C-alpha cells in the first residue's frame, strides 16, 4: 500500500501532515475515492470532474488539471502494484498557522492507494439493514468536503444497532445515505432523490442511471417520503465501495420480501458487466 504527499511517493506510515494543516483544523478541503478493478479505473474522469467542481465550490486554488490528476493517480496505482484498490485523494488549503482566513500557502495534495475491501458475497446475497436518521448536515452536500461529522455520527449509530447504513431524512423526505445514494423500487420504477445541493451527485448513481436505461427500467428522479421508503418493493444504495447493494430492513421493518429484489439483482449484474468491460 502506498502514500503520496505533495509530489512524493511515500510509505503509508510516512504520510504525516503537520498539526497546522487545514484539513485537520477546519476540514478545509475536498476528497475523492476511486475504485480500480483489475488495474483499470471505474469512471475516473467523472470522479475528477466532481473533484474539480468541489474544489471550485470552496475556492481552493488547484493548479492541476484533470489530465494532471489522471496521470498522478494512474502512476500511483501502477507504483503500488495493487490491481484491485481504492485511491483516496485529498486536497486541502495547505499548511499555515491557525487562522480562519484563507492562508497564502500552496494547496496540499495527498493520496493513499489501498487494497479494495469488497462487500462479502453473503452480505450481497442477503442484503443489509439500515436505520433512518435525521439529516443534520449543512446546505451544500453536493460538495465532497472533508466535513463528515454528521455522517460519521449517523453511521456509528447505525452500526451500534447492527445496521450497515443510516438513511438520512430531511423535512420528511429521504436525502441520501451517510456514504451512499438511496433508491426505492415501486411499481417497477426506480425512484431516487433528484440532484440538488442536499445530496452528493454519486458517480455510481450516474452509472446506475445508465444501466437502468440499458435494462429498460424507468429511472425517476423525485423526492420520496419515509412512508414511501417503508412501503417500497425494494430499497438499495449505491457507492464506489458498495457498488449496488440491497437494503432489506429499515428500522426493523422488513422491506418487500426481505431479500434482495429483482431490480437490484439485475442492476448489480449489469454493473458487473460494466466492470468486466473496463
- List, in sequence order, every residue forming a beta bridge with 185; answer none if it has no partner: 190, 234
Q: Does 240 bind ligand PMP (CB under 6 A)?
A: yes
Q: Which of 95, 193 has the CB closer to ligand PMP? A: 193
The answer to whether the CB of 275 falls within 8 A of the CB of 149 is no
Q: How far apart are CA 182 and CA 170, in angstroms?
A: 13
Least distance to ligand PMP, CB of residue 80, Å: 20
Q: Does 90 bind ligand PMP (CB under 6 A)?
A: no
Least distance to ligand PMP, CB of residue 54, Å: 11
Least distance to ligand PMP, CB of residue 236, Å: 12
Q: Which of 144, 155, 249, 273 is catalytic?
A: 144
In the block, cell 457507492 appears at 239
Q: Which of 95, 132 has the CB closer to ligand PMP? A: 132
Least distance to ligand PMP, CB of residue 195, Å: 11
The answer to whether the CB of 130 falls within 8 A of the CB of 247 is yes
Sheet arrangement for strand 2-5: 8-10, 2-5, 108-115, 85-92, 29-37, 40-41
Give the single-character DSSP code of 13: G
Has 144 been annotated as catalytic?
yes
**The one segment of 102-110, 157-165, 174-182, 261-269 that binds ligand PMP by CB under 6 A:** 174-182
Q: Does 129 bind ligand PMP (CB under 6 A)?
A: no
Residue 249 vs residues 84, 132, 139, 169: alpha-carbon distances, Å = 30, 11, 29, 16
The answer for residues whose C-beta is within 8 angstroms of residue 183's C-beta and 6 or more apart is 190, 191, 192, 208, 235, 236, 237, 238
Least distance to ligand PMP, CB of residue 53, Å: 12
Least distance to ligand PMP, CB of residue 103, Å: 27
Q: Does 181 bind ligand PMP (CB under 6 A)?
A: yes
**The one segment of 62-70, 92-100, 118-126, 177-185 that binds ligand PMP by CB under 6 A:** 177-185
Size of the site for ligand PMP (CB under 6 A): 13
If residue 56 lies in a helix (H) or strand (E), which one and from where to where? helix 44-57
**Residue of 217, 256, 212 lying closest to 234 (CA atoms):** 256
Q: Does 198 bind ligand PMP (CB under 6 A)?
A: no
Identify the residue among 238, 249, 260, 271 touching ligand PMP (CB under 6 A): 238
Q: Tell me how many degrees the CA angle 193-194-199 measures, rounded to the nearest 5.
A: 75
Q: Does 92 bind ligand PMP (CB under 6 A)?
A: no
**The one segment of 89-97, 118-126, 234-242, 270-278 that binds ligand PMP by CB under 6 A:** 234-242
* Angle, in degrees to the nearest 10, between helices 203-214 and 44-57: 140
Site for ligand PMP, rule CB under 6 A: 33, 176, 179-181, 200, 202-205, 238-240
Residues recognised as catalytic: 144
Amino acid at each position: 500500500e502506498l502514500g503520496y504527499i505533495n509530489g512524493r511517493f511515500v510509505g503509508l506510515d510516512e504520510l504525516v501532515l503537520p498539526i497546522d494543516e487545514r484539513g485537520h483544523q477546519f476540514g478545509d478541503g475536498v476528497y475523492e475515492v476511486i475504485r480500480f478493478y483489475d488495474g483499470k479505473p471505474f469512471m475516473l474522469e467523472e470522479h475528477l470532474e466532481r473533484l474539480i467542481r468541489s474544489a471550485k465550490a470552496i475556492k481552493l486554488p488547484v493548479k492541476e488539471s484533470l489530465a494532471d490528476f489522471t496521470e498522478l493517480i494512474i502512476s500511483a496505482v501502477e507504483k503500488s502494484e495493487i490491481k484491485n484498490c481504492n485511491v483516496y485523494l485529498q486536497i486541502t488549503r495547505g499548511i499555515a498557522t491557525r487562522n480562519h482566513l484563507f492562508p497564502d500557502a500552496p494547496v496540499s495534495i495527498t493520496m493513499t492507494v489501498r487494497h479494495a475491501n469488497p462487500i462479502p458475497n453473503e452480505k450481497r446475497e442477503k442484503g443489509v439493514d439500515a436505520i433512518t436518521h435525521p439529516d443534520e448536515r449543512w446546505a451544500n452536500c453536493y460538495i465532497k468536503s472533508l466535513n463528515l461529522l454528521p455522517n460519521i455520527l449517523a453511521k456509528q449509530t447505525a452500526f451500534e444497532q447492527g445496521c450497515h447504513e443510516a438513511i438520512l431524512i430531511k423535512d420528511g423526505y429521504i436525502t441520501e445515505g451517510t456514504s451512499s445514494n438511496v433508491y426505492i423500487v415501486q411499481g417497477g420504477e426506480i425512484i431516487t432523490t433528484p440532484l440538488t445541493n442536499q445530496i452528493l451527485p454519486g458517480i455510481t448513481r450516474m452509472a446506475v442511471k445508465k444501466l437502468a436505461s440499458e435494462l429498460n427500467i424507468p429511472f425517476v428522479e423525485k423526492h420520496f417520503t419515509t412512508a414511501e421508503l417503508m412501503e417500497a418493493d425494494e430499497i438499495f444504495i449505491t457507492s464506489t465501495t458498495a457498488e449496488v447493494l440491497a437494503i432489506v430492513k429499515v428500522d426493523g421493518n422488513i422491506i418487500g420480501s426481505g431479500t434482495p429484489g429483482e431490480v437490484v439483482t439485475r442492476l448489480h449484474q449489469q454493473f458487473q458487466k460494466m466492470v468486466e468491460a473496463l
